[in-house]
Structure 1
Amino acid sequence: MSLQWSIIATFLYAEIAAVLLLTLPIASPSKWSKFFKSKFLAYISGQAYIYFFILIGVLVLCLLDAIREMQKYSSMESTDHQHLDAEMQGNMRLFRAQRNFYISGFALFLLVVIRRLVQMISELATMTAQCEANFRQAQSATVTARSLLDQAGAGDDKNKKEVDEMQSKISYLEKELSKEKKDKEAVKSQAESLNKEYDRLAEEHCKLQKKITIASGGDSKKDE
């Protein structure tokens, strides 16, 4: 195997290992997301699209070269059957071309798969973080709502207690007011009876004065 295809085969083995690491339950999506957002990968991710398209281009060129080699040696196999050595060499070169075709094809396919896996894991980690944040917000909202309900219940009890106190004060004041009215009516009736008694006494006093005046007038006439 030439150096070129040895490098591509090594890259293919690395891709297989990466796919296994990403698909096996070794780490959670959040940990993979933290790894993808590390300083080193963040530095590389700025030029990731360039590297990706360069690798795509190289693998496509290798794939086309392998297809060309396959077509070349396939045509030679169908035309040349004279020498056994030449036929064996042609079969060997055809086998190498087919091997290179599969190596470059699988490397190209796994490169696209790895890119898609990284995107899906990052999106899953983001969605998981959003779900956790929404769950924490829902929990805090539930706690807040419960505390408000408890405060509202306590406020209702307090208001009910204040209303009861005000009602008791109102009933007490009503009783005091009715008592004052009764006392006022009693004083008024007493004052009316006193006025009547005063009028009666005044009339009697006038009558007595008249009698005294008459009596004193009769006595004076007798003395003359």
Structure 2
Amino acid sequence: MTLQWTVVAFFLYAEITVNLILCVPLISAQRWRLIFRWRIWSWLSPYWNKCFFTIIMVLIVLFLDALREVQKYSGPEPMQDAKVNPNVYDHVHMKLFRAQRNLYISGFSLFLWLMMRRVATLLNQVAVTMEDSAGLQSQIDNAVRAAKQQQEDKLTLKQSFLEKEKSMSAAKQQLKLEVEKLAGQLKTAEEAVRKSDADIEAMRRQAKGLAQEYDRLLREHHQLQNLQSAEDKKDW
């Protein structure tokens, strides 16, 4: 195996190892996202796309070269030569086997290289989606708690309103009773006032009669005094 195909084979083994590690279920997507956030990746990010497409182009070139070798040694001319000379037959089949091996190595390397990037991208997207889902779940929980709190506040306000309404109804009933009591007292006071007015009027009439009787008696007294004084004068 030449140097370039040895490098491609080791690259394939490295890709298989990395893809297996990426697919390990014990490492969560969030942990991979933390790993992808390391400073070294941000430092390598300006060169990552160039390196990625460069490796793709190299693998495509190697794949096409291996495909050309397979077609070359599987064609009719090498097979005819191999039938004539047995040594050439073994050599052609050895070359064909190597070409097919190189074709598989380069093809699988290209496939795993593309798949590795896709798996890393999907892991990152899954981690972002899980973080967004966690944030949305937190917002939903907060909204549910806020709704429950509002419902509890609403029930509390409703209960306080009902209690106030009951207290106001009781106060209104008490006030009504007080009004009725005061109305009864007012009616009694009015009757007492009317009675006292009648008594005062009777006393006034009685006083007026007494005054008239006093005046009459006073005139009679004066008349009697005048008569007595007249008799006394006659006796002298």
Task: State the TM bucket, normalised to the shorter chain.
Answer: 0.7 to 0.9
Question: How far does residue 218 in structure 1 lie from its aligned partner after superposition?
Answer: 5.4
% same residue: 27
Q: Separation in 2 of the partners of 1:90 and 1:199?
A: 156
Aligned to 2:80: 79
SS at match of 1:26: coil
| CA positional deviation for 1:215 | 5.0
Deviation at 1:111, TM superposition (A): 1.1
Aligned partners of 1:201, 1:152: CA distance in 2, in Å? 70
Report the alpha carbon displacement of residue 185 of structure 1 after superposing the two structures with TM.
2.2
- Answering whether residue 190 of structure 2 is matched by residue 193 of structure 1, we say no
Q: 2 CA distance for matches of 1:70 and 1:113? A: 25
**Would you say 1:11 and 2:11 are equivalent positions?**
yes
Query: Deviations 1:87-121 (Å, cap 9, x if unpaired)?
Result: 22222112111111111111111111111111111
Q: Which one-letter code corresponds to 2:122 in the other structure?
A: M
Task: Give 1 or 2 for the bigger CA radius of gyration.
Answer: 2
1:105 equivalent to 2:107? Answer yes
Whether the 8 Å CA contact 1:29–1:125 is kept in 2: the answer is yes
In structure 2, what is the Cα distance between the partners aligned to 1:213 and 1:30? 126
The equivalent residue for 2:50 is 50
SS at match of 2:25: coil
1:3-152 superposed matches below 5 A: 3-75=3-75, 76-80=77-81, 81-152=83-154
Aligned to 1:178: 180
Distance in 2 (CA, whole Å) between partners of 1:110 and 1:21 is 13
Q: What is the alpha-carbon distance in structure 1 between the residues aligned to residue 214 and residue 32 of structure 2?
A: 133
* 8 Å contact from structure 1 (residues 77, 91) kept in 2: no
The separation in 2 between residues aligned to 1:71 and 1:216, in whole angstroms, is 171
| Deviations 1:128-173 (CA, angstroms, capped at 9, x unpaired) | 1111222222222222322333333333333333333333333333
- Structure 1 Cα separation of the partners of residues 220 and 64 of structure 2: 171
Is contact 2:78-2:92 (8 Å) kept?
yes
Quote the offset at 1:34 in angstroms: 1.7
Which residues of structure 2 form unaligned runs of 5+?
231-236
131, 149, 159: which one aligns with 2:161? 159
Query: Is the 1:67–1:97 contact (alpha carbons within 8 Å) kept by the matching residues of 2?
Result: yes
Once the two structures are superposed, the pairs formed by residues 206-221 of structure 1 within 5 Å of their partners are 206-214=208-216, 216-217=218-219, 220=223
Specify every segment of 5 or more residues in structure 1 that has no aligned partner in the other structure, as ranges. Answer: none
Root mean square deviation, CA, Å: 2.3
Query: Deviation per CA, 1:10-48, whole angstroms, max 9, x where unpaired?
Result: 111111122222223231111122222222223223322
Count residues in correspondence. Answer: 224
Q: Which moved more, 1:149-158 or 1:42-51?
A: 149-158
Aligned equivalent of 1:204: 206
Contact kept, 8 Å, 2:63 with 2:102, in 1: the verdict is: yes
1:174 deviation in Å?
2.8
**Counterparts of 1:26 and 1:173 in 2: how far apart (Å)?**
77
